[in-house]
Amino acid sequence: MRRDHRGYRTVMSPTTTALLVIDLQEGYFSAPELAAIRDRVVAGSVAAVAAARAAGALVVEVRTVHSEDPTTWALNMREDECPFMVRGTADVRPVGELDEVRPDGPDDDWVVVEKTRDSAFHGTDLLDLLRSRGVERIALAGISTESCVAATAADAYAHDLRVLLVEGAVLTPDTERHHSSLRHLEDLYRQPALPVSEIAFAAPRGGGGSS
């Protein structure tokens, strides 16, 4: 068995790789600490989307969207009585830069998934979507490394999906927390961060797996 410098065998054989773009929405970047990293993470994510689109890969735009009443709110929102990312408000609007790479009309290879918790798998049909397209590996871009990105990556591992983090397209304001989160995902789940140039995006096969 070939092992790399990290001590484990890196599985990079040709496989169907989709891109998930997580929470690139205006409401998040209204916070000063996230506004400071906006340009970097958005530029990295747009580059990842462009690469995925060029390869004909599936792109899943993951958005956090809550109802105005507390039925979808997370615990901290209920405790603080503070609604956030409410449907119909400017907060939930995707960042404008995604329009540069978004298809002009309906496109089966660009799908929007709405979530109400950190993980993009929780309470959504994301897993069924990926399996129906024969996706075996996902690349993650967006915010924030230690929260929604990490939660989605951990759930993907639980569903036997391989995960890559797109270097420069996954960020959080706290540099130390960013790097410790990446180390945790790589050490525990074998989910490395790689430059987009090293990620082999591939078109979905269109076959259906078991859900």
At 133 the pLDDT is 95
Q: What is the pLDDT of residues 24-67, one digit of tens each?
A: 999 999 999 999 999 999 999 999 999 999 999 999 999 999 99
Segment 63-116, tens digit of pLDDT: 999 999 999 999 998 999 998 999 999 999 999 999 999 999 999 999 999 999
**CATH number, domain at 69?**
3.40.50.850
Amino acid residing at 138: I
- Residues serving a catalytic function are 148
Pairing of strands 193-194, 110-115: unpaired
pTM value? 0.90
Band of residue 209 on the pLDDT scale cut at 50, 70, 90: very low
Residue 205 lies in a domain: no
Residue 39, helix vs strand vs coil: helix
- Max CA distance (Å), the chain: 54
Identify the domain containing residue 166 by its residue range: 17-198
Does 11 reside within a domain? no
pLDDT band at 204 (very low <50, low <70, confident <90, very high): confident
Number of compact structural domains in the chain: 1
